[in-house]
Amino acid sequence: MGLPCLAKDADIFIAHNATSRSSHPGDIAMLMPPSVIGQIAAEAHVKRLVLSHRMAETLGKQHEAQTRADIRQRYAGPLEFANDLDCYSLK
C-alpha cells in the first residue's frame, strides 16, 4: 500500500511543499518534489490538492509558478498553496 492508495478519492490531499526542486543532496529521499506530488494526486483522483509546510525556497510567485507547472504535468484539479493558520472546508 502506498500513498496513492491512502489518498484514493480524497476530498482534500494535503502535501508538504518543502522543496520546489531539490538543491540539496538527499532531499529527494526525504521530500516529495512537486512532480511526485502531482503524480500521486492524479493517480489517487483527489478532488483538491493543498500544498503546506512551505519553506523559503518554495515561497514567492516564481517558486509557486514552477511548483504549479511541475504539478500540472500530471494533476489538473484544484490546487492551492496553504499559509499559516489557513482553514479548509470539505464543502
The answer to the question of residue 74 being in a domain is yes
Question: pLDDT confidence of 23, banded at 50, 70, 90?
Answer: low
pTM over 0.85: no
pLDDT per residue as tens digits for the range 33-68: 899 999 999 999 999 999 987 666 666 677 888 889
The answer to the question of residue 90 being in a domain is no
Contacts of 58 (CB under 8 A, 6+ apart): 17, 18, 19, 20, 51, 64, 67
The answer to the question of residue 48 being in a domain is yes
The answer to the question of residue 91 being in a domain is no
The answer to the question of residue 87 being in a domain is no
Per the structure, the count of domains in the chain is: 1
The answer to the question of residue 86 being in a domain is no
Q: Are 15 and 49 within 8 A, CB to CB?
A: yes
The domain in which residue 12 lies consists of: 3-81
